[in-house]
Amino acid sequence: MSDWHDIGTVEDIPRLGARVVQSPQGNIAVFRTAEDEIFALRDRCPHKAGPLSQGIVHGKRVTCPLHSWTLELGTGEAIAPDVGCAARFPVKVEGGRILLQVSAVAAVSDHSAGTLA
Ligand code: FES
């Protein structure tokens, strides 16, 4: 059963940046666009599992840091000619706070604090 979890404020995420939420469903990358829209995708590129949270956000898309696949933040779908999809998680903003629908949250961290395994 998934519940809404408060993972911090919109301002906690730099524009065009991301935070990583650790959950039983794996790491989730929560992105903020230049227009302050928030999206959440599994932090695992459908190509070879690159950390999307360390990618480049542009418009409503993110480009993977490893081999530059680009995914739609709203759907998780790769942009053609690449084919694949990163799981999308429901996310909403209420009163400036970000609510993410997952079964549980273990920890929240800035992507810059993460390390490539
Ligand atoms: S792992 Fe993301 S493009 Fe290759």
62-67 average pLDDT score: 98
Count of beta carbons in the 10 Å neighbourhood of residue 11: 10
pLDDT band at 111 (very low <50, low <70, confident <90, very high): low
Q: Is 47 in the pocket of ligand 1 (CB under 6 A)?
A: yes
Q: How far is CA 45 from the centre of its chain?
A: 11
pLDDT at 13: 96
What's the CA gap between 116 and 93, in Å, rounded?
Answer: 29
CATH superfamily of the domain spanning 3-107: Rieske [2Fe-2S] iron-sulphur domain (2.102.10.10)
Cis peptide before 81 (omega within 30 of 0): yes
Share of the chain above pLDDT 90, in %: 86
Residues pairing with 28 in the sheet = 21, 42
Instruction: Indicate the top mutation candidate among 43, 63, 69, 77 to test ligand 1's pocket, ranked by most ligand atoms within 8 A of CB.
Output: 69
Instruction: Tell me which of 41, 45, 85 to substitute to probe ligand 1's pocket, judged by most ligand atoms within 8 Å of the beta carbon.
Output: 45
pLDDT in tens, 10-63: 999 999 999 999 999 899 999 999 999 999 999 999 999 999 999 999 999 999
- Please report, rounded to a whole number, the percentage of residues in the chain having pLDDT higher than 70: 93
- Give this prediction's pTM: 0.92
